[in-house]
Amino acid sequence: MAAISGLIRVMEKAARKAGGRLRRDFGEIENLQVSRKGPADFVSKADEASERILWDELKVARPGWGFLLEEGGEIEAEPGQPRFIIDPLDGTSNFLHGLPHFAISIAVQERKLGSDEWGDVTAGLIYQPITDETFWAEKSRGAWLHDGRLRVSGRRHLSEALIATGTPYQGHGNFSEWTRIFSHVGPNVAGIRRYGAASLDLAWVAAGRFDGFWESDLSAWDTAAGCLLIREAGGFVSDYRGRSQTICDKQVIAGNDQMHSRLHKLVTEALKA
């Protein structure tokens, strides 16, 4: 087992504190489902409360670091300092409907050497409050679930593969593009799953639970930690053109070397159709 760094411990402490609040709020959803007002406002407040806890904990532990927050936007770092990229509640719709599948995602992104531009993601953590699972990775130190090493699935054949994705929904995503990709991928694989929390999809690819993943129109806070987890677990992440960006978010294909290559080929064929 790799020694857990001080940074990962700080990130996990913050995630567990925010996760405890989310678990308590999640317990109220069933009662809110039958109220006239409904749970939407409550979930928004739960999301904001989680983000506030994460921000409070991390800014004390790492003063001067910046933040890229789903709800709060960008908070500039001091010169030369890294930033945290945070999704305080990935899987909001699941949370809203009382489905116990959501996560907190935290990543650390460094400045490019001698530049103000953002560069490599060097640490990532995804915490699932309901199952109490902490997936984490640091650059060049591997990917882990608690103290157990993670490796991507070893499956090589699409016919054996379970693939995760996200689907377009009202006001989000390209239905035509997704349908074309699905029509090419679906007939070739053992199954396709859509669980509604991209960060967990990526963590589960790193853990070998899923064999591959594709989705588009995500944001950096959805994927920054998950991309690092997959790469440190021996997998590959790229956009639909096969480019391996530090944070793939607008387009994501992920899997082991063979699965990534085969998914990429199917996506390419779909987009040419």
pLDDT tens digits for 44-64? 788 999 999 999 999 999 999
pLDDT tens digits for 198-231? 999 999 999 999 999 999 999 999 999 999 999 9
| Beta-bridge partners for 253 | 214, 238
Q: What is the pLDDT of residue 239?
A: 97
Contact in structure between 23 and 100 (CB atoms under 8 Å)? no
Would you place residue 36 in the very low, low, confident or very high pLDDT band (cuts 50, 70, 90)?
Answer: very low
- How far is C-alpha 196 from the geometric centre of its chain's CA atoms? 11
CA-nearest of 229, 242, 40, 250 to 149 is: 229
- How many whole angstroms separate alpha carbon 221 and alpha carbon 217? 12
Burial class (CB in 10 A: 0-12, 13-18, 19+), 214: buried
**pTM > 0.85: yes or no:** yes
According to DSSP, residue 5 is labeled P
Q: What is the pLDDT of residue 32?
A: 63
Tokens 């904990």 correspond to what residue? 57
Q: What is the pLDDT of residue 34?
A: 44
Average pLDDT over the chain, rounded to an integer:
93
Q: What is the mean pLDDT of residues 245-270?
A: 96
The CATH class that applies to domain 158-272 reads alpha beta
According to DSSP, residue 172 is labeled B
Q: What is the pLDDT of residue 41?
A: 57
Would you place residue 262 in the very low, low, confident or very high pLDDT band (cuts 50, 70, 90)?
Answer: very high
**Crossing angle for the helix pair 198-206 and 220-232, nearest 10 degrees?**
0
The full length of the chain comes to 273
Q: What is the CA radius of gyration of the chain?
A: 18
For residue 222 the two structure tokens come to 């959805």
- How many whole angstroms separate alpha carbon 76 and alpha carbon 4? 27
241 Cβ contact partners less than 8 Å away, ≥ 6 residues apart: 251
Q: Kindly tell me if the per-residue pLDDT of 145 is higher than 60.
A: yes
Would you kindly state where each structural domain of the chain is located, as residue ranges? 6-149, 158-272
Q: What residue type is 7 in one-letter code? A: L
Topology adopted by domain 6-149: Fructose-1,6-Bisphosphatase; Chain A, domain 1 (3.30.540)
Q: What is the pLDDT of residue 39?
A: 55
Q: What is the mean pLDDT of residues 119-141?
A: 97
Q: What is the pLDDT of residue 86?
A: 98
Q: Kindly tell me if the per-residue pLDDT of 126 is higher than 60.
A: yes
- How far is C-alpha 225 from the geometric centre of its chain's CA atoms? 6
CA-nearest of 69, 60, 67 to 81 is: 67
Neighbours of 194 (CB within 10 A): 10
- How many whole angstroms separate alpha carbon 72 and alpha carbon 78? 18
